[in-house]
Amino acid sequence: MSFASLGLSPNLLKAILEEGYVAPYPIQQKVIPALLRGKDILGIAKTGSGKTASFVLPILELLQHESQGKGRKIRVLILAPTRELAIQINDVFHTFGKALSRRVKTLAVFGGVSINPQMKALVGVEVLVATPGRLLDLVAQNAVGLQSTEILVLDEADKMLSLGFAEEMKEIFRILPQSRQTLLFSATMDQKVGEIHKLVLKQPITFDMGGEEEVDLELIDQLAYAVTPENKGPFLRYLIKSQDLRQVLVFVSATRTADNLTIKLQKNGIDAAAIHSQKSQGGRMEALARFKAGKLRVLIATDLMSRGIDIQSLPVVINYELPRSPKDYVHRIGRTGRAESKGTAISLVVPDDVHHFKIIQKKMRKKVEILPSDDINLKGF
């Protein structure tokens, strides 16, 4: 099946081609035509399944053929659980929206930053991507109206519920018009998601694309090294240089760490770049494109920004910092060992992380020996 067969216009088809998409993912094959037909949709889809484009593309298709609204009346509302995901979704709208015959103004709003610039930027916005709490803040300030909302998308509904947004979501549903099209996406279909589904969806079409991604741990060689906080950076550089590693994906837990680590690697002659929510859209896209093309040696990513990294034969993943949960650990190392290709996952474990790493192994049901590194000469690294 091709994108041309899904009902998308030539402008969008050209943009899709320019972004390097050859054929639609299974979820895109299902969701795009159904959304264009005005159907409510329940999608059970894993990370990396192409879910975001499955609703972005048809929404842009519909809006480009209609006149632009005025004021602060939102036509499409997308709820996301985190700032990082909201920014990522908005970036996808910008990426494909540039090809349209008319501009569709989109905006991402989230907490943790001043509300005033977001209020000013809302004029003329047709597609609003929002975290639930900040959206209700804007509604309370009379900065945005939801009475004209035609399409509602709940992305990663399971995560929104696990983060405690159930009451905020119900308040938003109360404000929204009853006559609307609604799409709900979730990686799992638990009881809480089922309750929301019954509350907001009307005769939905259900697409179950397999839920959370299956990671074949047998294809991944897992290694771990005991390091001190002081020698963690030099040891990372030692690994990359001594083993001549190429196309290395390094995971960290914070944007500040990503930036500091990038600077250190660059100062030591290693071509590296970081992608996280504080980087510009253009900067993230350029770094990711270079990495996918094999022109960037090291890409440093936070967990949420890694969701757009889908490379079939990625050779090496390094956990510079361990993630908070075993589930996130499996997701991280699952970026390698794909499409029947072997991969390597390396974790750098400081003393404070030893107990947590044991929990990860227990949940994963796979033992990973922690190797010593104090006998390695790191002078010059």
Q: What pLDDT score does 214 carry?
A: 62
Superfamily designation of domain 217-371: P-loop containing nucleotide triphosphate hydrolases (3.40.50.300)
pLDDT for the residue 109? 95
3-class DSSP string for 305-370: HHHHCCCCCCCEEEECCCCCCHHHHHHHHCCCCCCCCCEEEEEEECHHHHHHHHHHHHHHCCCCCE
Check residue 200 and give its pLDDT: 84
d(CA 122, CA 73): 9
Contacts of 235 by beta carbon, 8 Å cutoff, 6+ apart: 225, 227, 348, 373, 376, 378, 381
At the topology level, CATH places domain 3-208 in Rossmann fold (3.40.50)
pLDDT band at 133 (very low <50, low <70, confident <90, very high): very high
In contact, 100 and 11? CB cutoff 8 Å: yes
Residue 40 confidence (pLDDT) above 80: yes
| Residue 241: closest CA among 264, 209, 275 | 264
3-208 with 217-371: one CATH topology?
yes
The reported pLDDT for the residue numbered 71 is 61
Q: Which pLDDT tens digit goes with each residue over 50-98?
A: 889 999 999 999 998 877 666 668 999 999 988 888 998 999 999 899 8
- Where in the chain are the domains? 3-208, 217-371
Contact 108, 129 (CB under 8 A): yes
Q: What pLDDT does 305 receive?
A: 59
The pLDDT value recorded for residue 266 is 96
Average pLDDT, the chain: 88
This prediction's pTM: 0.63
- Least confident interval from 93-107, 236-250, 270-284: 270-284
Beta carbons of 129 and 78 less than 8 angstroms apart: yes
Q: Which tens digit of pLDDT belongs to each residue from 203-226?
A: 899 988 765 556 778 889 999 999
